[in-house]
Each structure stands twice: as structure tokens, then as C-alpha cells.
Structure 1
């Protein structure tokens, strides 16, 4: 269940919820408000009203707007990292692995809650705590990708990381463009196009210990 669905399910006033359920409800309401209004325009009053609770209840869980925003950011950074790691582990076929990883970014930005905007399009990037989280999740995703590249190619850690940052960066930038442009291209087709572009590059590196390229099964 998404944060938005949790909010809808838990919204009625006067309902006493377990602490974890209440926290999820508040995070869901905060996501709606922050995505719609941005951090600076959003008010704790708006979030409390959206959640159907009083401000004191909101402050029992989060001492301020920044703490609430950071908790939400942590949640969605972890969701992105989990998606990338799951994609990488989903297959041992390298081409399919590239496609799955790129699709993870497309799936992340396509989520109806718009949480990706908190990570990639925040209006609070000058806040050190926000910048640190955004930079960290980008680095963690790249590290996960680079581990696979290094294992398969025998490239150095630094070389593998450079390629991984490129693949991750291209994936999220193109996915965001695809969504914001209202493209008529279906997600599956968009992922296939981007995968073909990336694969023709990454497949040129030979498999570690094997005198043939990663794409030895044949180019597409």
C-alpha cells in the first residue's frame, strides 16, 4: 500500500490509530501537500487538515516541517534504492539487467504519488540535510550498479563507478523527461529505446576473464 493509499484509508477524524499507522497516515498527507505545493509553500496546518488530525497530533510525531519532510525523503530514497537493487538482482542476463534497472527509474517517476519530485526536484536542495540525502541515494544506486559492472568486466572500482553514475544519471533524467513531456511513447517502449542505447555502449566491455564482450550473445 502506498503512502497515498494509507492516507486515504486512515483519514477519518476521531479515529485512534496505532502510532505506526498514524505516522504513515501523516507521511501520506505530507507527501500530497509537499508534491502539490512544494516545501516552502506548504504549511503544517495544510498537512494536519489533509490528514484529518489536529496540529498537536501532527507535532507529537514530527517536531517541525523540516523533520517531516526529511522523514518522507528518507522513505522515498529508500524506495528508489530498493527498486534499483531488486532490478539488478532480478536476472543474471546482463542485457535484461540493464533493462530492469532502467525500468526501475521509470517506475519510480511514474508512481502516481509523485514522490520522485521530493528526491529529484525538491525546492529545498539548498538545505544541507536534504542535499546530503539526495546525493547519498544517487551514490548508493551508482554503487549498486558499479558492483555488477566491476564483477562482470574486471574494470577498476573507479572506472566501474564512472560508468554506473552515467547509467543511473541517464536513466533518471530521461525518465523524468518522459513523464514531464507527456510523451505518447509507452513506458515499455521508452525503456527499450534507452536500454538499446545503453547496451550498445556497455556491451562493448569484455566479460571478466573471457575474451569476448558482455554482449557476446549478439547485439540487438
Structure 2
């Protein structure tokens, strides 16, 4: 490497900053790289270069890349759990809450496509380590969701299927829409608010009509 290149590379390094902010920068950069290149393709050097810090500085925040991936997955699932918990606790009708939970899930995926693909994009070349720490959070999210579907079932408001089958169908359908939209940006999709409304109207009118 030439002397000029070395000087340029060093000049691109960021000065020491607030630890919390730097940690967040690392997580955001790593998330992009994990999605684009898979777990094996992502390296500490690539992540450090993306943030503009040295590999040594990055190791001050994370022991290795598995720790980075672990925290990304936990952070992502915690956001969804917080939304589900808040919506489920509202005093609104169960169908209204169910729609709000499905809408929040889809919007969350649209707003955070990299994190969504990282956690739920099973077709991406990311190691199974991505699921470390998310199993419990994911189970809590689904349990809360199923409880609201169960309220409709107990009230005789499900058109067909039992609670578990309806919950799985609703989740799978919404996941499919989000996964396609965020993983195929080259497609000329209809406006997202329109896709979201059509998906939820069709699902709920078919399975849990008002």
C-alpha cells in the first residue's frame, strides 16, 4: 500500500466519541453488512471500515462478530415485542387490536428492512447464530399475538379455523408481503400504505369479519 493510501486511510478514521453512539453506529453498519454479505462474509475489518474506526477500537465494544449479531437480533425483536405489548394492553375491541398489531408488524418491517431480513430472512446467507437470543423474545411476541386472536375465538368471531391456525395464517401472510417488498426493491410495488390496507382488509374480512 502506498504512503498516500496509508495517510488517506488513517485520515478517514473517526475520532473517539460517545461510547453509546459509537456502539449504535457499529450495530447499524454491521446490520447492513450481515444482510448484504452473510455472516461468514462479514468481517470485523469490514464493519470497522464501514463505521470509520480501527478494528482495535471496535473490539473495545464487542468481543467478536457473533456478539454483534446477537445484539442486533435482540434489539430488533425487542422493538417488536414492545409494540405488541403496548397494543395488546389497549382497551380497544380485540379485532381492532389485532389489526393494529399486524399493521405495526408490517410497518416495522418496512421501516427496518435490513433488520427484518437479518432476523426473518431465512433465505439470506446468514449463519444460524442469528437466532441466538431471539427465540425467547419471538415466542413472547407470538404469545401476545395469539392471546388477542384467542379473544376473538372465544367470542365466536373467527369465521373458520382454530386460534392457532388463524394466528399462523395471519402472521405468515403478513410476513410474506413484507419479505417480498423489502427483498425485491426493483419491483414496481404499489404504495406501501395501499398494500398494507389491502392485505389486512382481505385477511381479517376473510377470517375475523367485523
Q: Following the alignment from structure 2 to structure 1, what is the Cα–Cα distance between the partners of residues 169 and 91?
A: 21
Is the Cα contact below 8 Å between 2:35 and 2:126 reproduced in 1? no
Is the Cα contact below 8 Å between 1:74 and 1:133 reproduced in 2? yes
Within 5 Å, which residues of 2 pair with 1:1-220?
13-17=14-18, 19-89=19-89, 92-111=92-111, 114-121=114-121, 122-125=124-127, 127=128, 129-154=129-154, 159-181=162-184, 182-203=187-208, 215=210
SS at 1:115's partner residue? helix
Q: Following the alignment from structure 1 to structure 2, what is the Cα–Cα distance between the partners of residues 177 and 147?
A: 27
SS at 1:73's partner residue? helix
Matched length: 189
- Output the TM-score relative to the length of structure 1: 0.72
Higher mean displacement: 25-34 or 37-46 = 25-34
**Cα distance, 1:106 vs structure 2:** 2.2
Residues 35 and 172 (structure 1), Cα distance of their counterparts in 2 relative to 1, 3 Å cut: same
* Deviation string, structure 1 residues 23-55 (Cα, Å, up to 9, x no partner): 222212212322332221111001111112111
Is the Cα contact below 8 Å between 1:29 and 1:47 reproduced in 2? yes
Is the Cα contact below 8 Å between 1:143 and 1:161 reproduced in 2? no
SS at 1:15's partner residue? coil
**Cα distance, 1:90 vs structure 2:** 5.6
Q: Following the alignment from structure 2 to structure 1, what is the Cα–Cα distance between the partners of residues 52 and 94?
A: 48
5+ long unaligned stretches in structure 2: 1-11, 156-161
Is the Cα contact below 8 Å between 1:30 and 1:47 reproduced in 2? yes
5+ long unaligned stretches in structure 1: 1-10, 205-214, 216-220
Q: Following the alignment from structure 1 to structure 2, what is the Cα–Cα distance between the partners of residues 192 and 85?
A: 22
Q: Following the alignment from structure 2 to structure 1, what is the Cα–Cα distance between the partners of residues 183 and 198?
A: 18
**Cα distance, 1:103 vs structure 2:** 2.0
Q: Following the alignment from structure 2 to structure 1, what is the Cα–Cα distance between the partners of residues 68 and 59?
A: 9
SS at 1:169's partner residue? helix
Q: Following the alignment from structure 1 to structure 2, what is the Cα–Cα distance between the partners of residues 150 and 72?
A: 31
